[in-house]
Structure formats: C-alpha cells, structure tokens
C-alpha cells in the first residue's frame, strides 16, 4: 500500500514532520507516527463537513463567493480575522484583502500569545530552534504551559526526552514545571513548582534579583514568594544560572494571567540577562499550527505582527484598538471574514453576540460553532490534508505540508484570492 513518508502534521505548533500516512484511492487508511490529536485531525480533515451556503441555504460556489464579495466590499469597517491554522499562502492573501478593503486584519494571536509579542517589542526575544533544545538544553523550564496535553509529542521529539548531539537524553537534563496546578507535564518533570495564580510577576522579580546576586528582603526569605517557599526559588535561580544551555517554554498560563505582557517582559529580560553567565533562551509555546506564520507574514507585509488596520491606506498597529476582542466588544465591526479560527468557540460571549448581529463570511473545511451565525459559509480543503501549503513551527521554522488526498474543494488561498479579485473587478467597473 502506498505510504507517504515525512508528512507534516498541521494540528499544533510542533508541526511534527515524521508522520507516515497510508493512502489508497484517495482515502487515508492509516496515520502512523502521530499523537492522537494529529491522527484525529488527519482523518477529520479528509471529510470536510462544511457546505456552500448563504443564510443557511445551500448554494453553488459562485453564489457564495459573490455574496462574500458583496458583504465585505459594502462594509465600512470590515474585519479579517483568524489565520492561525491556514497556510502562509492564505495568510498573505488575507492581508492583501484587508488592505484592499481598507479594513482590519487580526489573528487569534491577539487573545493568545499577543502579550508575549508585545513583551518582545519591549524587551526582545532571545530564542532558539527546537533542534537546539534537543541537541543542547540541559535545563528546560515549562512555565504556564502543558505540552503533554496541548502538543503531546513535544517532550519526546524536541525537549525533555529527546536525544540530541551534546545532550544525549533525559538523564542529562533537568526539567522544571511552574504552574498553578499539577498537570501531566508536571508529572514528567524533575521539579514542580506550584505557584499561586496571578503571582508570576512576583516570582520573576525574585528570580531576577537572585540571578543578579542582589540582596533579598528578609520577609521574602522567610515567607517565600507567590505561595512557594524561598528555598525553592533560590534553587531554581541557581539551576538557571548554573546550567549550560537553558530554555524556558512559556504558555497562556503567563500570557493570559494577571500582568500579561508585564509578566513576559520580566521573563524575557531575565532570560536576556542570564546570557551574561550562560546560554539561556525562551520559546513561546504556540498552540495552533501556523500562528507563528501569521505573525511573520503580517510583519513582512505591514511591519506589525497582528492588530493591523488599513483604513488610511497604510498599515497602522493598534493592540487594544484593532484587536478582535476590543473591536467586537465596542461593536465597531460591520462585517467579518473568518478564516482559520472558530470565534464562537473561543471569544468572550459579548464578542460573539456582536458577530451574530453582523454579516459573517466563514471560510472553513468544517461545520464549527461559528457556522450557525455565519451569513456565508465557504468550504475549503484542509491545509496539510486536502491542500498543500507552508506552515511555521512555534520556533519559526517553516515547513511545507503536502496534500495527502485530492480535494474537490478550493484552498483557503484560492477562495480569498477569488473574493479579492471579484472586489477589485467591481471597483474597477
């Protein structure tokens, strides 16, 4: 049976590229090498469930496209939103469409790792690729993230358990988890530090002082910090300073808890300063398959990583202003193209309420929670299964995902380009 080797899994930001997929007569029979999430994704994406529809009525492709173009071009404040699970080819088209419309483009980043990106703009981001973690890291910290559940093969392929060139296995690494609850990742660690929710900033302040060799006030040495005894922080600080190549992965436990970008700014500053003593890097543990790509594409096209508005004919950056949650909450948006996201499932209720009141064009392979509120639904071939395309791993390594089966549906890229071309033609007329 024909087996496709070295298949890239486009479910999570780990983009494992070693799957073996058995395909016969355009059907996937077996998915080898993936975790359960990845395997399920491939099978699920073989059979897109969405249909061409306008106002709940099944229509032909042309009618849906026409209505999508009409809805978006007649809006005064259109929003293009999502982009975290589609190819960079589609993302590039989406930015071009937002530019043409004089609208706004924002990604799921803004309510996920947006704060880490803003912290990066303040403090910088000392980082490395996942292969460096595998080859060299003798200290790995997972802070506010739980890859055992979100990215199940991460530990085996890239981090804790991986075998590398200089660090050859688990025995040569220390693994520390800092989280508010004992997670499966914490169980796989050498040390688990259970921190009080929302007190990360305090912990970083202490760690930074300890690493810098500054005096710590007595009340802290006696009562500890963030609900953790002082000695444990002192030991962690010593580990960080004493390792040869340390890497801190951080997740939404930090970006979405109190302090947000301030947490990250302090983490990134501490990591930068550690490089006076040793090598130390930080990697945002990004969830979706191509959310890293979306930041890159937006940055090379507009200069900004998310929350970009084109109403003046050039890109303007506005976290808090042009970010999806704020735009929908304020009710600014009067039409929305959703591609590569499921806002009804992930955005606050009040945002979804506004989406219900405006025309939404949904481009997605599947029926999702957003489908019922969409005026137009456009089915597409899923990237990495029915369509090929480029995806950026959480460490910004770009990979090409091939199509495994032939799809009768267009790709996200083609759909967005077609909508854009229709609008351009109409404007020229």
Partner 1 sequence: MLKIANGRVYDPANGLEGVLKDVFVERGRVVEPPPQSDEWEVLDAAGLYVTPGAIDIHTHIAGPKVTSGRILRPEDHYGHPVPRTGFSRSGTGHTIPTISVTGNRYAAMGYTTVFEASIAPLKARHLHEEFHDLPLVDKGCYVLMGNNYFVMKGVAQGQKALLQEYTGWLLQAAGGYAIKVVNPGGVEGWKWNSEKVQLDTPVPPFNVTPRQILLALAEANEGLGLPHALHVHANDIGRAGNCTTLLETMKALEGRRAHFTHIQFHSYGITKKGGFRSGAEPIAGFLNEHPEFTVDVGQVMFGPATAMTADSPLQFRLRGLTGNKWSNADVEMESGSGVVPLVYRRNNLVNAVQWATGLELLLLIGDPWRVFITTDHPNGGPFTCYPRVIRLLMEPGFRREVLEGLSPRARRLTSLASLDRAYTFQEVIIATRAGPARALGLATKGHLGVGADADVTIYRPQGDVEEMFQRPAYVLKGGQVVAREGEAVAGGEGRTLLAGVNGCERLPGSLRAEFEAYYSVRLDNYPVEPEYIPCREVIACG
Task: Rank residues 34 and 80 by Cβ distance to ligand SF4 and give the closer one.
Answer: 34
User: Site size for ligand SF4, by CB under 6 A?
Assistant: 14
- Closest CB to partner 1 among residues 244, 353: 244
Query: Is the CB of 153 or the CB of 241 nearer to ligand SF4?
Result: 153
Judged by beta carbon distances under 5 to 8 A according to partner kind, the member of partner 1, ligand SF4, none in contact with residue 11 is ligand SF4
Residues in the chain: 429
Nearest CA to 376 out of 50, 64, 66 is that of: 64
Residue (of 179, 413, 410) closest to 290 by Cα position: 413
Place of tokens 């947000």: 260
The residue among 395, 402, 383, 152 whose CA lies nearest residue 295 is 395
For 332, counting Cβ atoms within 10 Å of its Cβ (0-12 exposed, 13-18 middle, 19+ buried), the class is: middle
From the list partner 1, ligand SF4, none, partner contacted by residue 136 (C-beta under 5 to 8 A by kind) = partner 1
Minimum distance from CB of 80 to partner 1 (Å)?
A: 15
Shortest Cβ 389–partner 1 spacing (Å)? 10
The H or E element that residue 366 is part of is none
The residue (of 34 and 195) whose beta carbon lies closer to ligand SF4 is 34
Q: Is 108 in the site for ligand SF4 (CB under 6 A)?
A: no
> Which residue is at the shortest CB distance from ligand SF4?
38
> What's the gap between Cα 245 and its chain centre?
25
Binding to ligand SF4 by CB under 6 A, coded x per residue (else -) over 1-40, reads --------x-xx-xxx-----------------xx-xx--
**Partner that binds at residue 151, options ligand SF4, partner 1, none, CB closer than 5 to 8 Å by kind:** ligand SF4
Output phi, psi for 239, to 5 deg.
Answer: -60, -45
Determine the Cα–Cα distance for residues 317 and 297; give it in Å rounded to an integer.
14
The smaller minimum CB distance to ligand SF4, of residues 16 and 167, is found at 16
Residue 38 or 48: which CB sits closer to partner 1?
38
Instruction: Kindly tell me which of 114 and 365 has the beta carbon lying closer to partner 1.
Output: 114
- Residue 134 CB, nearest approach to partner 1 (Å): 6
Measure the CA dihedral 294/251/260/306, to 10°: 0
153 binds, among ligand SF4, partner 1, none (CB under 5 to 8 A by kind): ligand SF4
Measured CA to CA in angstroms, residue 51 lies from 48, 81, 166, 418 at distances of 8, 20, 51, 17
Minimum CB distance to ligand SF4 smaller for 15 or for 324 = 15
Phi-psi region of 259 (alpha: psi -120 to 50; beta: other; left: phi over 0): left
Residue 385: Cβ within 10 Å count: 27
Contact 100, 420 (CB under 8 A): yes
Within residues 138-197, the interface with ligand SF4 by CB under 6 A covers 151-154
Beta bridge partner(s), residue 24: 27
Site residues (CB under 6 A) for ligand SF4, limited to 343-382: none
Q: Which residues bind partner 1 (CB under 8 A)?
A: 5-6, 8, 17-18, 88, 92, 96, 99, 117, 120-132, 134-136, 157-158, 163-166, 244-245, 272, 275-276, 278-279, 281, 295-296, 299-305, 310, 312-317, 390, 392, 396-400
CA distances from 294 to 86, 307, 335, 396 (A): 9, 11, 21, 10
Contact residues: ligand SF4, CB under 6 A: 9, 11-12, 14-16, 34-35, 37-38, 151-154
């Amino acid at each position: 049976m024909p087996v496709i080797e070295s298949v890239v899994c486009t479910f999570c930001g780990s983009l494992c590229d070693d799957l073996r997929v058995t395909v016969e007569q355009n059907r996937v029979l077996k998915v080898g090498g993936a975790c359960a999430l990845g395997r399920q994704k491939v099978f699920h994406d073989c059979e897109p469930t969405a249909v061409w529809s306008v106002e709940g009525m099944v229509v032909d492709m042309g009618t849906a496209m026409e209505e999508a173009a009409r809805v978006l071009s007649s809006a005064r404040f259109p929003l293009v939103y999502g982009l975290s699970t589609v190819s960079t080819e589609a993302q590039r088209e989406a930015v071009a469409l937002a530019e043409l419309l004089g609208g706004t483009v924002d990604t799921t980043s803004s309510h996920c790792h947006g704060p880490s990106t803003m912290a990066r703009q303040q403090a910088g981001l000392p980082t490395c690729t996942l292969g460096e973690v595998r080859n060299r890291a003798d200290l790995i910290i997972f802070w506010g993230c739980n890859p055992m559940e979100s990215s199940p093969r991460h530990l085996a392929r890239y981090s804790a358990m991986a075998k590398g060139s200089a660090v050859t296995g688990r025995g040569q690494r220390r693994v520390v988890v800092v989280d508010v609850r004992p997670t499966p990742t914490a169980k796989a660690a050498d040390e688990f530090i259970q921190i009080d929710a929302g007190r990360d900033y305090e912990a970083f302040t202490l760690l930074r002082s300890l690493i810098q060799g500054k005096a710590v006030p007595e009340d802290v040495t006696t009562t500890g910090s963030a609900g953790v005894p002082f000695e444990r922080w002192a030991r962690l600080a010593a580990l960080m300073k004493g390792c040869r190549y340390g890497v801190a992965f951080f997740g939404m436990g930090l970006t979405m808890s109190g302090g947000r970008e301030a947490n990250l700014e302090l983490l990134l500053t501490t990591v930068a300063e550690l490089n006076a003593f040793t090598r130390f890097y930080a990697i945002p543990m990004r969830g979706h398959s191509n959310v890293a790509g979306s930041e890159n594409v937006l940055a090379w096209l507009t200069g900004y990583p998310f929350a970009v508005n084109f109403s003046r004919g050039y890109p303007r950056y506005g976290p808090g202003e042009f970010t999806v949650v704020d735009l929908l909450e304020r009710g600014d948006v009067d039409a929305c193209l959703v591609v590569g996201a499921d806002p009804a499932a992930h955005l606050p209720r009040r945002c979804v309420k506004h989406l219900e009141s405006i025309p939404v064009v949904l481009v997605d392979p599947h029926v999702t929670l957003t489908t019922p509120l969409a005026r137009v639904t456009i089915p597409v071939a899923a990237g990495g299964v029915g369509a090929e395309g480029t995806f950026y791993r959480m460490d910004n390594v770009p990979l090409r995902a091939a199509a495994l089966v032939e799809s009768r549906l267009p790709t996200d890229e083609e759909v967005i380009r077609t909508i854009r071309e229709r609008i351009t033609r109409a404007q020229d007329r």
